[in-house]
Amino acid sequence: MTSINYSDLIPNNVDLAEDRRLQRALENWHPRFKDWWSEMGPAQFQDKDVYLRTAVDVGQEGWAHFGHVQLPDYRWGIFLSEAEPERKIGFGEFKGEPVWHEVPGEFRSDLRRLIVVQGDTEPASVEQQRYLGQTAPSLYDLRNLFQINVEEGRHLWAMVYLLHGYFGRDGREEADALLERHSGDSNQPRILGAFNEKTSDWLSFLLFTYFTDRDGKYQLGALKESAFDPLSRTCDFMLKEEAYHMFVGASGIGRVIQRTCDLMHEFNTSDVRKHGAIDLPTLQKYLNFHFSVSLDLFGSETSTNAANYFSAGLKGRFGESSYSDDHVLNAHSDYLDEIVGSDFVTKEYSAITLVNQELRRSYIDDCAKGLRRWNRIISEMGVETVLTLPHEGFNRHVGKFRDHHLNPDGEIVSQAEWDKNKDSYLPSENDREYVVSLMKPVYEPGLMASWIAAPSTGINTQPVEYEYVKI
């Protein structure tokens, strides 16, 4: 594999210089990306030196360099994981055949759509988080925000490379469109609903990185199984970077909980709002919202499209090789709980039509692990509150639950009961106003906002009080 040369305009390990047509096309796209970054990337911090991690290798060890860099000068690039010699397709009708290094004509449209949808999420999250730097709770958190932002930008480059390199004129047009849609734009919104939601505060950001970036983990993991080898290898490397995004969310919410519990213990009260912190009932409501919105990203429980993608070898299940079935699924059944009338009924389906739901189940199990860690913090402080994941049918707008109202416990409720209790399930306007009122920037090294505890360690062996962003 080609080594990464950072003197190139577009650092890469895909032999870009050997394909002059592709290189010119991407170099023509580069200034469009830079314009988008300037217009829609982090506001008011483009001239600040930020302590960022830059990929310099695709190996498991020693793959990143740390140093201060201004955001517009960050070296976005195109990186694929090392090729697996003689890799075979692991699922679907072509199971056991050699993987594809070019796009089969019959799957061209479907593969392009999968890449476009994934690619659309990357700049969308940057746009959603554009103004968060202005209310960062510490320089440590500010740096983490920017690290996520630049890596989402790099993931956009990963998808654009595939579109330009393998899909001809249609791919180039789709790559341009990735910069023309914008989060929350009424005329040209982002493709998936969760990426048009506002991220107006840091509590939402931390929960977004825990729940919504975790959806990204499972979508990328499913695409990593793809028979189209360049897509598989691209997603494999993206997953290495995505892991940090989820860490920011998991550790960040843990720090919010720690600060809340510290104040509850210090002042012997559950009403920590008077002390400038986020109370646990409010956190639970925010958790309910972000979890339910993220569940919608997996699509409908039963899906002919997902079945076709699986059968064709385009998109598998997360950790496909860990399943003990035949990885074809035509002769397998699975079961799904759904609402008929006013009751839950278990129905049998062909397993291949429930691939989305299987991915969602894996995601829910993974989300629950974080809650166990958060609840351990609460328990160790002697607080009796337990955070919970709401029922998977709660507050759903996609799939079989979209026309029903369920409370967080999974009980079917009427429209009237939902309207009456909605503000106890989900953040009310007052809740959101209160959380936003806490969002005051703290730019002094080592200091933290009132609502979040300090991290236990800094970044890359640096102390917590290190000047991660030079204001």
At residue 35, what are phi and psi to the nearest 5 degrees?
Answer: -65, -45
CA distance 246 to 372: 15
For the domain that residue 42 is a member of, what is the CATH number?
Answer: 1.10.620.20
pLDDT, position 60: 58
Q: How many domains does the chain have?
A: 1
DSSP code of residue 99:
P
pLDDT, position 61: 54
181 contacts 190 by C-beta, under 8 angstroms: yes
pTM: 0.96
- Neighbour tally for 91: CB within 10 Å: 27
pLDDT, position 15: 93
Helix locations, 167-228, DSSP H: 168-177, 202-207, 213-224
- Residue 2 inside a domain? The answer is no
- Residue 5 inside a domain? The answer is no
- Residue 8 inside a domain? The answer is no
Q: Range of 277's domain?
A: 16-470
Nearest Cα to Cα of residue 245 among 279, 211, 287: 211
333 contacts 352 by C-beta, under 8 angstroms: no
CA 236 and chain centroid, separation: 15
Please report which helix (H) or strand (E) contains residue 333, including its range: strand 333-340
- Residue 1 inside a domain? The answer is no
135 contacts 150 by C-beta, under 8 angstroms: no
Write out residues in the chain with pLDDT < 50, as ranges: none
- Residue 184 inside a domain? The answer is yes
- Residue 281 inside a domain? The answer is yes
- Pull the structure tokens for residue 98: 């050699």
pLDDT, position 321: 97
- Residue 377 inside a domain? The answer is yes
- Residue 11 inside a domain? The answer is no
